[in-house]
Structure 1
Amino acid sequence: MPQAKSPQKDAYTLILEAIDMGEFKPGDRLVESDLADRFGVSRTPIREALQRLETQSLLARDGRSLIVASLDHNQMAELYVVRTELEGLAARLAARHATEEEIQVLREMVDEDRALMNDPSALARANRRFHKMIHLASHNRYLVQQLDLVHRSMALMATTSLAAQGRGEIAMAEHQAIVDAIARRDEDAAYKALRDHISVAFVTRLKLDNTSEAR
């Protein structure tokens, strides 16, 4: 049944959100007519959205078809290098600029997300919200824009590192350490805590990928 298009969201945003939420996974073929029916829009804006996503390397060509792109090992490593530095900077700036209300929201997020330990998909969505809140708390619009691009590419990874056994509990402890440092206005500690968090996530993802390939 076609989904009613939200007046606030264009075809590009609708497709991008579907990729980000894992509804379209790496390797999935995207067909104009199917997407038009799904989102209740005409094929012209769908075609334009697909062209834009291809230009941004979020979609790739497979013969005459467009598929959701995937990241190879080197691309993933390069992405994590950039993400680690930008996320660390966001935490540093959040420690400097975050309002008390923003810090309170971060604290509540950590408390609420602990209830999602046994649901990797829900925890992954919560994790994105948590990081987005830190980006906004940096109060630097240019940094937020760059991190949006990085996280857009992160959606091209088929699995979440939070699916690894025990990773959820560790990640929540890391989130708590990040928020505590931001609340103390300790810029160096916030920077290090978030960089360490991303580094552990990268190691976990590499292990997951190696295990999957060995099967």
Structure 2
Amino acid sequence: MRDRTLGQRDAYDLILEAIDSHIYKPGDRLVESDLAEKFGVSRTPVREALQRLETQSLLTRDGRSLIVASLDHTQLSELYVVRGELEGLAARLASRHATPEEVRVLRNMLEADKKLIDDPEGLSRANRRFHKQIHLASHNRFLVQQLDLVHRSMALLASTSIKAEGRGADTLEEHEAIVQAIETGNGDAAYQALRDHISAAYEIRLRLDAEAVEADR
């Protein structure tokens, strides 16, 4: 039972990471035998991982096949509303509870991320690490769990908004405002800075989606 549980967790994490890094994109079909071969695990933990991902709405049925789910316009709007509120709360709590060491880690992230300004994929990964650090600095395990669920759903977006022209520089400026508010213990400012950051990302997302629709006509 112990080995089976370990295999299931590993298969789940591997598939989830592949979706998060857009190896598997919305609409891609996931085949149990192919995944087992790709990740070097047996088919049983892969089957159980796929069932778990389907339960979490990260995968959906297309006939008898499982495909990576996608978000429609309404779902996208709902996701960003929830994300903005929860992320803002995390920033507010971080302004109260973050240790000096955690604040220094955020500062070091900001400095390191400046080198990624022309690397959208790298900056996107760094952005996820930055947000995760704020979640942890909130010192609220229940909030962290909910934000983990939200960020899993973010993996269903076909691309990152950071790829938009000029978005990398804007992202770093917004991160600076968030860290400064946390650093000074200003909960209201931290909440608003992070809400504004999410709002800006959502606006870019809507514009990119609109441009994609126009291009397909």
TM-score grouping bracket, smaller chain normalisation: over 0.9
Gaps of 5+ in 1: 1-5
Q: Whole-Å Cα distance in 1 between the matches of residues 152 and 111 of structure 2?
A: 26
Alpha-carbon RMSD: 1.3
Q: Whole-Å Cα distance in 2 between the matches of residues 9 and 44 of structure 1?
A: 12
Is residue 20 from structure 1 mapped to residue 26 from structure 2 by the alignment? no
Is residue 206 from structure 1 mapped to residue 206 from structure 2 by the alignment? yes
Which residue of 2 is the match for residue 183 of structure 1? 183
SS in 1 for 2:24: coil
Gaps of 5+ in 2: 1-5
Tell me by how many angstroms 1:48 deviates. Answer: 0.7
Aligned CA distance change for structure 1 residues 163 and 47 (closer, same or farther; 3 Å): same
Q: Please state which structure has a larger fraction of its residues in helix.
A: 2
Tell me by how many angstroms 1:17 deviates. Answer: 1.2
Q: Whole-Å Cα distance in 2 between the matches of residues 70 and 119 of structure 1?
A: 25
SS in 2 for 1:208: helix
The TM-score normalised by the length of structure 1 is 0.95
Give matches, 1:93-112, under 5 Å.
93-112=93-112
Q: Whole-Å Cα distance in 2 between the matches of residues 83 and 162 of structure 1?
A: 17
Q: Whole-Å Cα distance in 1 between the matches of residues 164 and 176 of structure 2?
A: 19
Tell me by how many angstroms 1:8 deviates. Answer: 10
Tell me by how many angstroms 1:21 deviates. Answer: 1.4
The TM-score normalised by the length of structure 2 is 0.94
Tell me by how many angstroms 1:18 deviates. Answer: 1.1
Q: Whole-Å Cα distance in 2 between the matches of residues 99 and 200 of structure 1?
A: 28
- Compare 16-25 and 101-110 and name the one that shifted more: 16-25
In the comparison of the two structures, how many residue pairs are matched?
Answer: 210
- Compare 98-107 and 109-118 and name the one that shifted more: 109-118
Aligned CA distance change for structure 1 residues 8 and 72 (closer, same or farther; 3 Å): closer
Stretches of 4+ aligned residues off by more than 3 angstroms: 6-9
- Compare 78-87 and 13-22 and name the one that shifted more: 13-22
Aligned CA distance change for structure 1 residues 61 and 7 (closer, same or farther; 3 Å): closer
Which residue of 2 is the match for residue 78 of structure 1? 78
Which residue of 2 is the match for residue 3 of structure 1? none
Tell me by how many angstroms 1:7 deviates. Answer: 7.6
Q: Whole-Å Cα distance in 2 between the matches of residues 138 and 11 of structure 1?
A: 30
Residue identity matched to 1:164:
A
Q: Whole-Å Cα distance in 1 between the matches of residues 172 and 182 of structure 2?
A: 15
1:88-126 Cα offsets, whole Å, 9 max, x none, are 000000000000000000011111111111111111111
1:11-62 Cα offsets, whole Å, 9 max, x none, are 1111111111111111111000110011111001100110111111000111
SS in 2 for 1:24: coil
Is residue 11 from structure 1 mapped to residue 11 from structure 2 by the alignment? yes
Which residue of 2 is the match for residue 69 of structure 1? 69
Contact 2:123 2:162 survives alignment (8 Å): yes
Which residue of 2 is the match for residue 151 of structure 1? 151
- Compare 20-29 and 129-138 and name the one that shifted more: 20-29
Tell me by how many angstroms 1:9 deviates. Answer: 5.0
SS in 2 for 1:10: helix
